[in-house]
Each structure stands twice: as C-alpha cells, then as structure tokens.
Amino acid sequence: MQVPEDGEDLAGQSWYHGPLSRQKAEALLQQDGDFLVRASGSRGGHPVISCRWRGSALHFEVLRVTLRPRPGRPTALFQLEDERFPSLPALVCSYVTGQRPLSQATGAVASRPVMRQGPIRRSFSEDSLSESLAQTEPLRARKRSDSQPVGLEHVGHPTEDHPGPGASTVPASALPRTGSDPVLLKTPALLGSIADNLRASDGQLHAKAPTKPPRTPSLMLPDASGRSPTYCELVPRVPRVHGTPPGHSCPEPEAPWWEANEEEEEEEQRCFARPQGEVSFCPPDNPSCLLGPQNRPLEPKALRILRGLFLEHHPGSTALHLLLVDCQETGLLGVTKAQRGAMGVASGLELLTLPHGHRLRLELLERLETLALAGALAVLGCAGPLEERAAALKGLVELALALRPGAAGDLPGLAAVMGALLMPQVSRLERTWRQLRRSHTEAALAFEQELKPLMRTLDEGTGPCDPGEVALPHVAPVVRLLEGEEVPGPLDESCERLLRTLDRARQTARDAPRFREATARRLRGFQPNPELKEALTTGFLRRLLWGSRGAGAPWVTRFDKFQHVLSVLSQRLEPDL
C-alpha cells in the first residue's frame, strides 16, 4: 500500500468507502482480515475501521486530534490506541503492512482491503436519511436578526463558480462546518447530515457582528420514538422561526458544553438573591438507549453491548467521554441560568465548598464509588482465560493514563479508575497481576511507577492542580472532609493534610472559570457517542449494577451488597489456598 503525500485526500484510496452505515459495512466483510474505512454517521463523520475477525465484524473508531496550524507540521494526527500518524492513509498502511493488531484487546488484524465500487458518496444512505427526516423538520425561512444567524434558508444549497438557474448564491463561508475543516455540501443539507453547529463566532453569517452569541444549543438527543435504533443520532437543533404549535412544549435549552464563557447579565441588572435550595446536576431519567424501562441487575445483554462499546473506542476517546460526563455531573459545564440563580454561584466547583452544597457532595461521592465498582466488575466479570482478565486490567491502566494531568486531565475520573484497580477484590488477584506484568509490561510499570504515586500525591493535596494541565480537579478529599470523614494519619500529619485540603478547595473554587475554559478547549470539536456517553452517567450505572428496583435503595445498603458480590466473584476466579 502506497501512502499519498496529501494525507487528507481519501478519494484515491480504494479501501475508503465514505459515508457508510454499520450494517452495510458488515455485509461487505466476508472473511477474516477483510477491512474497510468508512465515515460513521452516528459519530459525526469520524473515520471508523471496520474489520472481520474470528467470524465477527468489529468496528474501531479512529481519533482525530486537531493541531494548531504551523508551517511544516500536519494539521491533525490520527490514532487508534497509542501511536499517532500524520494522516489516515499512513495509519492504515502501518497497521496493514506490519500486520499489527488494531487493538490489543481483540487482536484483530486488517490484511485484505475491501475495494470500493464506484465513486465516494457525498451523503449517507437513503435509509439513514429517511430515519433522520422522520425525527426532524426542514429548515424554514426566517427574518434577519442581530442576535441570530441570517440566511438559514440557503444553508446547504450548492455553490458553484458559475451558478445555474435556481442555484443559491450563498458564499462558501456560510455553509455548515463538519469537524474542524469547512466542507462544501454538493447536495441539499438535511438535518440528519449536518454534523456541527452554527457558531456565533462565524461573523460572515451575520449582516453585522452579533452582540451576543446564540442561546440555542447546537446538538440535542432526538426525541424518544417507538423504534430501537442502533445508534442514538446527534441531530443539530436549528432555531425555528415560527412559534411552537399549540399543545407542544419547547424544552429549555441547555448551555452548550463546549463554550467556556456563559452569557452574563448586565451589571445594572444584577442583584443578590439568597440561594433557594440545593441543586443537582445529574441528568434526568430519560428513556435509555441501552436498558429497557425495567431491568434486572447486570443484564447479560447490556453487559455485552457495553463491552463492545468500550472495545470499539480507544482509551483517549473514552477518556474524553468520561471528562464530558464528569463535567456535567460536577456542574462545571452545562449549568443553566436557573441553576446558577438557585445555588448563588456560577459552577459546582464553588457550590461543593458551601453549606448548601450537601446534595452535590453526596452525588459526587456516589459517582466516584459507582464508577469504581463498575471498573472492578469489568475485571472480575471476566470468567474466561487468564489473559482476558489481564487485558481488562491493561485497559483500565490505559484509561487511567489517558485521564491523567497533561492528557484529558479528568482527575475525578482518574480517581474512580484507580479506585477500581486498588480495590481489595481486584488487587488480591495475584495470578492476574502476574500475567499483566508478563504480557503487558509497559502497562504494569506505568501503574506501579507513575499512576500509584500520582494518586497518592493527589489524595494528600500536593498533586498537580494547574488549570492548564488539569481540566477537572480532584475534589474527593475536600468532599469527604466536608461530609465529616476524618483525615487519616497521625495528628500532626493529619492537621497539615487538612489545611492543604482546605487551601486546595479555596483555590479550586477561585479558579473555576479557568477550569471551565481548559475543559472547553479539550472538548472543542469532540463529538461524543450517545450510547457511550449514557453508559458513563451515574444514573445508568446505578440501574445497571442494582437493577431498576434496587437503584432506589439507600446508597450504603447498595454499596455493601455489591461489595459482597465482588468478593464472591474474586474468590471464584482465584480461590484462597
């Protein structure tokens, strides 16, 4: 396979099929080793390598890391697990010619490309478009406004150098953007195919520069319907011109999580208001894409789906999904104006240090323990070969490395993953850890020499906390302290640790706007998978671990009961001698 000089030119690659659904891709893969590269509709056009291995069709999302333009340097890097490449063809060439596994967990090797028949399609299949049209409405004409984009009625019409009769004359800059690069759409843009939003920073869309950014979020989950889709598509929400029809309620828009700065009120309109009550940032219990209305604990079907999701996403992508959910449930991003008015501060990082932040502190402690239990279950639930459990340990270590400062910078997520690895039921598996050191030496060394010392310094209040290096700080020590837990250690050391923890909490509350900006920079351009995003929420994990009936029991009771379940699983895997 020969790599072209232009890494972004995929039209000349016979293995690239453009927009293609999962089902049609699987139909093209006939033998083990067959592979193709497609643009996934449920992931906003991100490239996905589809490969058949050991009789099953596997799908691996390729992470695209956008770089700041500099002379002599590529504009983006592409990676599957660890190594990054300057272009997608270079990545495919390296894995195919070197017969390297696409992921260590599956061992799948791509060796035989499935050739594309005909030119690349510029839109997704008609069946996918019809499903999207069933949930959306066409764009309507709207009048000009100094606070909303104009010319939306022209969005998506073709633009040529010499337009023909009836062709639109909208400039290329007014067309929607996909990913980080502008793309000219040759066919009328339907709502199901627009992958990104219209931003207030796109000044060319306005007759004059807007004074305020649009308050309408760009991405929303579609309304629940009777069908059970393979993916929960992200559908752009476009401002509607006409009023809402009678009998239909319009939900209050959420603040976009990728925006660092919220719209502020005018100084003369501000006034002090006493906080009305405690605020919760946990998302509402909407219909689940992965669980039915009623479910039992640890449903095998849901566990198989989750395993496939995590195998399909490399640790870097999973870390960004976890960062997004942690920021929303901590109250760093997506805080509404009503929530700010109720709690009296701008973010949850400030609220958790206040007396009326008791509910938020309890929710954060439950989230930390629930994520740790789910991570431990990923290892203890592997009843197959010893190598399978070692691979699960390796996956958790790689996720922790992707969450550490300097990477995703999600320290609450890092604490949860490390809590799973250090849980007694997992740490006692001597044969499994020995196999990890034998088969995955680098991961074992990183866990012992980097992650464990880092977690120790974070718990002691001396670890990294700079908003440029960290997106979401480690808040577990101050949350436990304010909820009445004693500081461990001798009296003189515990007093110093207490003072460090309180000082770190004050610094975290003061730097909350900087953490919000750092998080927005990391998530800019990131398009989450709705299923994986839901699987990382506290509400979903609560129902998965304890069932729909047991999820309402007190937290202490649920935690003690599941600890007993994990102890039984651990003893079955490696009984005491």
Amino acid 196 reads D
Q: Round to whole Å and give the CA distance between 11 and 14.
A: 8
CB neighbours of 372 closer than 8 A, spacing ≥ 6?
416, 417, 419, 420, 423
Query: Which of 426-459 are b and which e, b meaning 16 or more Cβ less than 10 Å from the residue's Cβ?
Result: beebeebbebbeebbeebbebbeeebeebbeebb
Mean pLDDT of the 456-472 span: 92
pLDDT level of residue 375 (50, 70, 90 thresholds) = very high
How confident is the model at residue 223, as a pLDDT?
41
Q: Which of 265-269, 418-422, 492-496 has the lowest mean pLDDT?
A: 265-269
Residue pair 353/479 in contact (Cβ under 8 Å)? The answer is no
How confident is the model at residue 256, as a pLDDT?
44
Determine the Cα angle at 342 with ends 367 and 554, to 5°: 30
pLDDT level of residue 202 (50, 70, 90 thresholds) = very low
How confident is the model at residue 519, as a pLDDT?
93
Residue for token pair 């910078």: 409
Residue/partner pairs of 210-218 with CB below 8 Å, 24 or more apart: 210/146, 210/147, 210/148, 211/146, 211/147, 212/147, 212/263, 213/259, 213/263, 214/147, 214/148, 214/149, 214/239, 215/253, 215/263, 216/253, 217/253, 217/254, 217/255, 217/256, 218/256
Which residue intervals of 287-382 are DSSP H helices?
300-312, 315-330, 337-343, 348-351, 358-380
The full set of domain ranges for the chain reads 16-113, 125-136+144-159+169-242, 292-573
Nearest to 44 by CA among 230, 184, 193, 173: 193
Determine the Cα angle at 475 with ends 408 and 342, to 5°: 105
How confident is the model at residue 84, as a pLDDT?
84
Nearest to 546 by CA among 560, 532, 531: 560
How confident is the model at residue 189, as a pLDDT?
38
Does the pLDDT value for residue 565 go beyond 90? yes
pLDDT level of residue 236 (50, 70, 90 thresholds) = very low
Does the pLDDT value for residue 299 go beyond 50? yes
The chain-wide mean pLDDT, for the chain, equals 76
Q: Round to whole Å and give the CA distance between 276 and 340.
A: 11
Q: Is the CATH number 3.30.505.10 carried by domain 16-113?
A: yes
Does the pLDDT value for residue 44 go beyond 50? yes
Q: Round to whole Å and give the CA distance between 381 and 373.
A: 11
Q: Round to whole Å and give the CA distance between 44 and 532.
A: 14
pLDDT level of residue 46 (50, 70, 90 thresholds) = confident
Mean pLDDT of the 358-375 span: 95
Mean pLDDT of the 47-74 span: 85
How confident is the model at residue 334, as a pLDDT?
87
Mean pLDDT of the 58-80 span: 83
Which CATH superfamily includes the segment(s) 292-573? Ras guanine-nucleotide exchange factors catalytic domain (1.10.840.10)
Distance of CA 220 to the CA centre of its chain: 14
